[in-house]
Structure 1
Amino acid sequence: MMKILGIISTAPKPRTSIPAKQHKIYPYLLKGKIINQSNQVWAADITYVPMEKGFGYLVVIMDWHSRKVLSWRLSNTMDTGFCVQALEAAIQDHGYPQLFNTDQGAQFTSEAWVAVLKNHDIQISMDGTGCYHDNIFVERLWRTVKYELLYTKAFSDLKEVRKSLTQWFDWYNQERFHQGLDNQTPNEVYYQYQAIHQPAWA
């Protein structure tokens, strides 16, 4: 409610991108790249979810071309497991991309995460440190879901959050028109391409 009224909380927010110094960092591969098909580039990111007592964490897997949310998971900790679960669910349901972009957070540089990508011969790309524009479409999604849902009510637990997000992401994929997509929905763009082309990963 404080967010809706324009009141900025002074409480510290959890960090959702914490590098692990011992993990390998991959270069950013999207600069100058033309992205014009579904399953060409996927992206992932983590954000925090405010609740009445503490925070939860939300990870999303997004198709860059269509902005479609391919999968998502919630957790009450910043462990790698819920991120890998989201990645595996997206691959199971939608195939896999040519390239995957994330930030340099420990979850996305972990052996478990990187192993899934390498097992499918997916190129790995990582944002520059502090360069949120490198993953701009997911950042825009965070802004939208926070101000249209997560900041509009007080959630008591992750079960409530999960129920609301299930409805919201279904609406976002199926009914949310994007000016940048010629006023089409993410599902329209994603499945339109899939219907007339072989998947980029084939």
Structure 2
Amino acid sequence: MVTSYQKEQCLTFVQEVFPKLSYAKTCKLVSCSRTNKYYKKVMPEKDVVVKEAISSVIGTSRLGRRKVIVKVQKKYPGIGAAKIRRVYEKEGFSLYKRMKKRRIDNPANPIEVPLAANVEWAMDFMSDSLASGKKFRTLNIVDQYNRKCLEIGINYSLPSRKVIEILERTIIEHGKPLGIRTDNGPEFTSCLFQIWLDKNDIEWIKIQKGKPQQNAIVERFNRTYREDILDANLFFSLDHVYEVTQPWKEDYNQERPHESLNYCTPNEYAA
């Protein structure tokens, strides 16, 4: 929403840039009344004091209404909050509010367990920190048929290019899936990743925004990986993360029974 004060500023700017444009057309362009040209504001003398108080408190900083009221009342205890708020909004001290963009949501995409391997993979990111405080990310890839952990990519940063490299290595080892289920992260919505999916004839199965339960299998895997590895260890380098993760991954696929697989391991269930 544009305030009248902002419209007046736009009106002045357009008149300066396009002096040949008539005043009536300029007002129509910015949806402003023509009477503004002839109306002269008469500020009450009591508001002058409040305006000067607000200006002295704000200075060159950006402060919201509540902070301004507190600071002004500390300096001038006799000025009421309602008066400060009125002058603050009337004289254009208000901070600009960015309008929220309307985001179109995806249709519901409930999870389905496939009847064969490499029909649908699920992917998701996780993050943690080294002992030095530097953050790293992991890309977890799970086959939804037998809950097998196909790959855990580890790096400081995992943009679309890195995601594609990890997927290509995984496809060489395990074969190509018909579809990949992910959330709506920027790594998956990027043009580079979408072009790669089309080129390899892989369907992108995107879940609804804010509905992680539609990617429940990899989310459940994330919890196990978090409890057993990320929360249970103090890492000093990416190599250390990899050294701890790889044996756990083999144990997860070959030794760990899964209740959802009738207490079989992922490898036993696939066999």
TM-score by length of 2: 0.57
The residue number in structure 2 matching 1:74 is 154
3-state SS, counterpart of residue 124 of structure 1: strand
Pick the aligned partner of 1:40 from 112, 119, 135: 119
RMSD: 2.1
Deviation at 1:32, TM superposition (A): 6.7
Deviation at 1:76, TM superposition (A): 0.5
Equivalent pairs: percent with the same residue?
29
Deviation at 1:187, TM superposition (A): 1.6
**Compared CA separation, residues 34 and 163, structure 1 to 2 (3 A):** closer
Gaps of 5+ in 2: 1-100
Cα deviation 1:109-165 (Å, max 9, x = unaligned): 122222232222111111111111011111111111111111112111111001111
| Distance in structure 2 (CA, Å) of the matches to 1:35 and 1:147 | 27
More helix per residue:
2
The residue number in structure 2 matching 1:129 is 209
3-state SS, counterpart of residue 180 of structure 2: strand
Instruction: Name which of structure 1's ranges 25-34 and 148-157 shifts more when overlaid on structure 2.
Output: 25-34
**Compared CA separation, residues 34 and 46, structure 1 to 2 (3 A):** closer
The residue number in structure 1 matching 2:89 is none
**Contact 2:177–2:202 under 8 Å retained in 1:** yes
Instruction: Name which of structure 1's ranges 70-79 and 146-155 shifts more when overlaid on structure 2.
Output: 70-79
**Contact 2:109–2:208 under 8 Å retained in 1:** no
User: Letter of the aligned partner of 2:152 in structure 1?
Assistant: W
Gaps of 5+ in 1: 1-20, 193-202
**Contact 1:26–1:124 under 8 Å retained in 2:** no
| Distance in structure 1 (CA, Å) of the matches to 2:188 and 2:246 | 24
TM-score by length of 1: 0.76
**Compared CA separation, residues 27 and 118, structure 1 to 2 (3 A):** farther
The residue number in structure 2 matching 1:141 is 221
User: Letter of the aligned partner of 1:37 in structure 2?
Assistant: A
| Distance in structure 2 (CA, Å) of the matches to 1:32 and 1:80 | 24
User: Letter of the aligned partner of 2:138 in structure 1?
Assistant: L
Matched, 1:159 2:213: no
Higher relative contact order (CA 8 A, sep 6+): 1
Cα deviation 1:78-133 (Å, max 9, x = unaligned): 42232112211121112112221100001111222222322221111111111110
The residue number in structure 1 matching 2:258 is 178
Instruction: Name which of structure 1's ranges 140-149 and 31-40 shifts more when overlaid on structure 2.
Output: 31-40
Deviation at 1:29, TM superposition (A): 7.5
User: Letter of the aligned partner of 1:123 in structure 2?
Assistant: E
3-state SS, counterpart of residue 153 of structure 1: coil
What number of residue pairs does the alignment pair up? Answer: 168
User: Letter of the aligned partner of 1:46 in structure 2?
Assistant: F
Matched, 1:97 2:97: no
**Compared CA separation, residues 32 and 50, structure 1 to 2 (3 A):** closer
**Contact 1:51–1:157 under 8 Å retained in 2:** yes
**Compared CA separation, residues 32 and 42, structure 1 to 2 (3 A):** closer
The residue number in structure 2 matching 1:49 is 128
